[in-house]
Each structure stands twice: as C-alpha cells, then as structure tokens.
Amino acid sequence: MGIKINSLLIHGGIDGDTATGAVNVPVYQTSTYKQDGLGQNRGWEYSRTGNPTRAAAEKLVADLERGTYGLAFASGLAAISTVLSLFKEGDKLVVSDNIYGGTFRILDNVFDHFGITYTIVDTSDPAKVEAAIDDDVKAVYVESPANPLLTVTDIREVADIAHRNGKILIVDNTFLTPYLQRPLTLGADIVIHSGTKYLGGHSDVISGFVVLNDKELSERLYYLQNAIGGVLAPWDSYLVIRGIKTLGVRMDRHVENAGRIAEWLVQSGYVDRVYYPGLTSDPGYEVQKKQADGAGAMISFVLKKAYDHRKFFERLKIITLAESLGGVESLVCHPASMTHAAIPAEVRKKVGIVDELIRLSVGIEDVEDLIDDLKQAIESSAKEE
Ligand SMILES: *Cc1c(COP(=O)(O)O)cnc(C)c1O
C-alpha cells in the first residue's frame, strides 16, 4: 500500500473482517477448521500452520517494515530461535558485541549444541565486520541501537559488506520499530522483533516477529515456524495489532521524552556517562540520524561514584524497576544482574556493561514528573562520607 506510516499503522495488513464487516480483525480463537471434503479446505487447516488473526498481525508488521513476508511467534526469542534454525553444524555468525542477553544465551547454550558458533564484533566499526568474515560465516547479526549500550551500526554499510561476501544480514529492530527505522530498505535480509516491547506497547503481551523479502528464505522460515511450532496465539496477535494502532503517537512521545531526559542527565552533574544516540555528542549520532527517523527512547547511564546505584533503584517512585522495555510506563533495569546476567562477567566488562550501568526505558508520562523522580532518587542515594 502506498500510504504513509501513521495510516499504515491503522489500515495496514488485513484491515477489518471481510466476512462480517467488523472494523477490527476478530480473534479467531480456534485450533482447527472444518474441511469440506478430503483435501478441500477454505485456506485454513490447523492454527499452528495458519490462523487468520495471526495472519493479520504478520501482514501488518510486514507492511510496516516494507517487507513482503511476515511471521509471528510466541516471543522474540521464539522468532530468534526459528531464524537461527536456518543454520547448520559448522556455520558461524558474526554478532554485535552488545545485544540482548537472551540472544547470547541461546547461542551459547542451545545452538552451540548443534555446532553453530559465533564471534563477537564491534559492528559499529564496519572494518571489523569485514575482518571477521570467513568461509564458515553465513550471516551477520546486529542490533542498532544495541542493547544496552545503544551502540549504532551503519546498517547499509554492513549489509553491503555481508552481501559482497555472499552472507546475509539479520537485524533485530526491537529498539526502534519500523516507525523509526526500516532495516530491509537499508539492505538487511531478515528483520527480527520482540513485539513484546514497543509494538505491543502496553507490557501485556509476549510476542515476536520476523520480516523478509526473499521468497526462498521465507518458504524455509514458514516451514520452520510450523515445524518448530512457537507461533503467536490468536488473542496475543489481536493485542499486538491493537497496540500497533497507536505506535506512532506513542513513539513520538517516547522519543521526545527520551531526548529531554538524556539532555537533562548530561547537564545534571549526577552522571559520568550517558549513552543515547540522539545526543549530538554520541559517537553514533551521525549514522543514527542518517538511517533512522529518531533516536528511540532507550537511555543508559552511569551514576557518579558519589551515588549508590543500588539505593537509586529503591528510591524511584514513578519509574519502575523491572525487566523489559517499550511499554507506556517508564521502566528501569540493571543490565549486569538482570537483562544481561546471562553474559559472562568478563565479556560484560570487556564490552562496557559495567556493574554501575543503569538502563532506562522512557515511557510516555509527563517528562517533568520523570525528571523529578530521577532527581529525587539520585539525590537520596548519595553515599554517606
Ligand atoms: C526483549 C528482547 C528480545 C527477546 O524478546 P522476548 O519477546 O522477550 O522473547 C530480543 N531482542 C531484543 C532487542 C529485546 O529487547
């Protein structure tokens, strides 16, 4: 469809229900479908293989990513594990050095058992990606901005490097959503989402998506989706569709609030370091500006030694200490012990995920209230001399 993004959020995919005229796609809460005769069905056979509500969510996310084929999964990790199942013994991946902890966990402790290995690279430096590619490498896997240090990778440049060497590029676009960044249009081959985050947007559903353009690869992924079976349930598909309708208005507020908070943190005198690619001082600023329509709403920072980061978490009143991100409410987490605990301590330290690092998912509350909350929590966590 040739319409703009905010219209696409509401009318993309399968808009409404042709059978009844219902404005919303109904929740087809069914596991199976009546067959009219042997080998005669109406396009639906069994809900692991296909379900109309899930199909609507899949088509919607595909449209938003400007892709052809979409697949919905029971979680982001179900999406990731299905994509990783494309590879076989002896295959190797080149992976960004700071990505979602669960992705490292599944590589280290699950796909490792099948002889699939990986090397960690700072993908913000394309030369390092090029240097890491050898015959065994089959794909480059990046997040941009990456979790939790918001490192920005030049997607177009890394896609070119991958393609020149006959490899594919996989991008986890969870942090920005297609509202802000569309990796397929920058040359990526496969886009992955945890729909649990901004797409759902209300911290009430776990989901995952994969979008791509290549027909052959999509047929293999559909096969794997059905064979492995980690599909998104009808009700959860509906919740994600419902969340996506307001993605644009939510993201605008998320990004505006995050920009205000990042600037406040920098000049506050409370922090040693702020990671946010929307700051002109951030090393990823130029690339971020070139390839995305905004810097997102994830900020990481390191408090000055004068403050006790453990106490800080307890003193917050509005901002909630919790895993996850991308919901309307602001959440804060401690990557070293929470989201990235699965990464060995020495690797964490090497890539900069220090013990004092704090990750903030900026919600859509009034930004003054969020800044007041941060201020009182930091001040009341000052270490006693
Ligand atoms: C949360 C997250 C995942 C995993 O998704 P789940 O829905 O929790 O399984 C993958 N990638 C990123 C960037 C995430 O934030």
- For 191-260, the DSSP string reads EEEETTTTTT-SS----EEEEE--HHHHHHHHHHHHHH--BPPHHHHHHHHHHHTTHHHHHHHHHHHHHH
Residues 42 and 128 in one domain: yes
Backbone angles phi, psi at 273, to 5 degrees: -155, 135
Tokens 């990042």, located at residue: 262
Atom of ligand 1 nearest to the CA of 326: 15
CA of 303 to the centre of ligand 1 (A): 26
CATH of the domain at 218: 3.40.640.10
**364 in a domain, yes or no?**
yes
For residue 358, give both structure tokens.
């704090």
Q: Is 75 near ligand 1, meaning CB less than 6 Å away?
A: yes
Q: Is 101 near ligand 1, meaning CB less than 6 Å away?
A: no
Residues 252 and 277 in one domain: yes
Q: What is the distance between the alpha carbons of residues 288 and 95, in angstroms, rounded to a whole number? A: 19
| Predicted confidence (pLDDT) per residue in 305-316, tens digit | 999 999 999 999
Q: Last residue of a domain, which of 200, 217, 244? A: 244
Residues 220 and 286 in one domain: no
Q: What is the distance between the alpha carbons of residues 172 and 191, in angstroms, rounded to a whole number? A: 6
Q: Is 359 near ligand 1, meaning CB less than 6 Å away?
A: no
Residues 257 and 187 in one domain: no
Q: Which residues lie below 8 Å from residue 213, measured CB to CB, with a gap of 6+?
A: 67, 68, 69, 184, 189
For residue 292, give both structure tokens.
């995305």
Residues 215 and 231 in one domain: yes
**125 in a domain, yes or no?**
yes
pLDDT of residue 6: 95
Q: Last residue of a domain, which of 244, 276, 303? A: 244
Q: Is 301 near ligand 1, meaning CB less than 6 Å away?
A: no
Q: How many structural domains compose the chain?
A: 2
Q: Is 100 near ligand 1, meaning CB less than 6 Å away?
A: yes
For residue 69, give both structure tokens.
């084929």
**28 in a domain, yes or no?**
yes
Residues 159 and 96 in one domain: yes
pLDDT of residue 34: 96
Question: To test ligand 1's pocket by mutation, which of 174, 181, 198 has the most ligand atoms within 8 angstroms of CB?
Answer: 174
| Predicted confidence (pLDDT) per residue in 246-263, tens digit | 999 999 999 999 999 999
Q: CB neighbours (10 Å) of residue 123?
A: 30
CA of 175 to the centre of ligand 1 (A): 9
Q: What is the distance between the alpha carbons of residues 248 and 246, in angstroms, rounded to a whole number? A: 6
Q: Is 98 near ligand 1, meaning CB less than 6 Å away?
A: no
**324 in a domain, yes or no?**
yes
Residues 260 and 339 in one domain: yes
CA of 195 to the centre of ligand 1 (A): 8
**19 in a domain, yes or no?**
yes
Which residues does the chain have with pLDDT short of 50?
1
**48 in a domain, yes or no?**
yes
Atom of ligand 1 nearest to the CA of 103: 10
Domain range enclosing 344: 248-379
The protein residue with its alpha carbon nearest to ligand 1, atom 5, reads 76
Atom of ligand 1 nearest to the CA of 102: 4
pLDDT of residue 384: 85
**Residue 172 is a catalytic residue:** yes
Residues 232 and 315 in one domain: no
Residues 222 and 206 in one domain: yes
Residues 104 and 134 in one domain: yes
**Residue 48 is a catalytic residue:** yes
Q: Are 298 and 360 within 8 A, CB to CB?
A: yes
Q: Last residue of a domain, which of 227, 244, 261? A: 244
CATH of the domain at 358: 3.90.1150.10
Cα diameter, the chain? 81
Q: What is the distance between the alpha carbons of residues 301 and 279, in angstroms, rounded to a whole number? A: 13
**384 in a domain, yes or no?**
no
285-307: string of b/e by CB count within 10 Å (b at 16+)? Answer: bebbeebbebbbbbbbbbbbeeb
DSSP annotation string for 28-79: ---SB---SBTTB-SS--BTTT--HHHHHHHHHHHHHTT-SEEEEESSHHHH
Residues 233 and 275 in one domain: no
**362 in a domain, yes or no?**
yes
Residues 19 and 151 in one domain: yes
Q: What is the distance between the alpha carbons of residues 272 and 112, in angstroms, rounded to a whole number? A: 37
pLDDT of residue 19: 87
CA of 76 to the centre of ligand 1 (A): 5
Q: What is the distance between the alpha carbons of residues 290 and 155, in angstroms, rounded to a whole number? A: 10
